[in-house]
Amino acid sequence: MSSHEITLDKTKRASLWLEQFDEDDRPYANLLLKKIHWVSSYEFEKAIKNEVENIGNESEHAIAIFVEREVLPEERVYKFSDKKPQRADGEAFEPINIIKNRKEIGSEGLLNTIATNLSRSDSRKYLYYPAAKVFRKKKIRKVVILTDTIGSGNQMYNFLDCFQKTPSLKSWYSSHHIKFFVVCYAATQEGLKRMEYHPFKPTIIYNKICPTIENSFSGDEKKKITSLCHKYNPDQNKNTPFGYGGVAALICYSHGMPNNAPAILYKRSNSWKPLFRNRTAIDLKDELPTGDADYDPENYLNLMNQKRIAASAKFQKLNDEGKKYILVLLSLRRLPRTKNAIASRSGLSSRIVSDILVRLTFLGWIDDNYRLTDEGQLLIEELRKKGKAKELPKQIKEGYYPTTLRRP
């Protein structure tokens, strides 16, 4: 983000929203705004498109693309033929389906456009909602499902159930003929955990761990922000201050805010005007950046209580790639050491974390169990020291691993 671009907390509407808080509460309400991750349409579309293309490039066969939406309990992807051979038949279910007279279309509208454009760009590789006959003929081996955010994970779980309830698809999965992938911009730790329990065991590819009140604040700040959400909750009767599933997501896309965000951000009452009317960003998007968001490694170091390293001249001299290596190393200093946990602590995407772990293992800075080796520990200690900087990660060159990364 360039210096002339405005941030969410500096918008005109944010100023009006903040005036609703008592004077003592206003600084913390402003702090909440600063933690909301704004995602422009450009950044969102680029992230989703790139991940789908990565899957396509790694596949010899065509891949099927679907978009998550709310589904009915009895829905299946394909009808089941009554005639022999009994198998999936006909067209796939509708990409967008209006349920219970709800005429609102959420992120699935934009995601279906992205999927359609991918299919148009290469109709042999990307098959948008392929018919059962096409699924068999093209020998599809990978099914990709798109969504913007995995919050509680319930809606994605139910959507995957539609595939499991389709006998042919269930059979193909059981015989290891197809694999399922979920591509999203952001995912919560709870949502990722929920996906682990689905029988189809989908591979989840996300751009970042979804920021929430839980992982964006600590100590007294977290207590104060939580108290604010209760105190100013515009939906007192339902007692849902943290949104659907209690997620308290702090992310907003140009196409709207998810319903698992704190209620004070998007719900209305007689005495409360939301920042995001009906979960839309229509009042804000003209003031906010339209390109890629900057990655702020110092922010994540502070959350890990690594303020000395964040402020050190040695760390500041590193380039962006070198800083990411250090963030991953620091993330590995405590349990759990899973890729999802590392992504959450560092703010990096799952794909970037996986790549850095491979490189750190190759360099001998971590072992096969992702524990820091003596060399990895020495590097971290060198960053903590004051004085003249020794040679530290500073440039990523072409090739399999960064040749200038050396132990101090």
**Could you check whether the bond before residue 85 is cis, i.e. omega within 30 degrees of 0?**
yes
Burial class (CB within 10 angstroms; exposed 0-12, middle 13-18, buried 19+) of 81? middle
pLDDT of 393: 42
User: CA dihedral in degrees (164, 170, 173, 175; nearest 10)?
Assistant: 160
Which secondary structure element, helix H or strand E, spans residue 62, and what is its range? none
pLDDT in tens, the chain (408 residues): 443 345 788 888 999 999 999 999 999 999 999 999 989 888 899 999 999 999 999 999 999 999 999 999 889 999 987 777 778 889 999 998 655 555 566 678 889 999 999 999 999 999 999 999 999 999 999 999 999 999 999 999 999 999 999 999 999 999 999 999 999 999 999 999 999 999 999 999 999 999 999 999 988 999 999 999 999 999 877 778 999 999 999 999 988 899 999 999 999 999 999 999 989 888 887 777 666 566 778 877 877 778 888 888 888 888 888 888 999 999 898 888 888 888 878 878 778 888 899 989 988 899 999 999 998 888 888 888 765 545 544 333 333 344 444 444
- CB of 326 closer than 8 Å to CB of 309: yes
pLDDT of 110: 86
Residue 309 corresponds to which amino acid? I
Token pair belonging to 383: 């960053």
pLDDT of 274: 94
pLDDT of 385: 79
pLDDT of 98: 58
pLDDT of 399: 31
* pLDDT tens profile 85-120: 778 889 999 998 655 555 566 678 889 999 999 999
Classify 256 as helix, strand or coil.
strand
The residue behind tokens 């290469």 is: 122
State how far the Cα of 130 lies from the Cα of 64, in Å rounded to an integer. Answer: 7
State how far the Cα of 277 lies from the Cα of 283, in Å rounded to an integer. Answer: 8
C-alpha distances (whole Å) from 257 to each of 69, 120, 149, 195, 262 are 16, 29, 10, 22, 10
Residue 342 corresponds to which amino acid? I
The sign of the CA dihedral 262, 267, 270, 274 is positive
Phi, psi of 245 (to 5 degrees): 75, 5
State how far the Cα of 76 lies from the Cα of 66, in Å rounded to an integer. Answer: 13
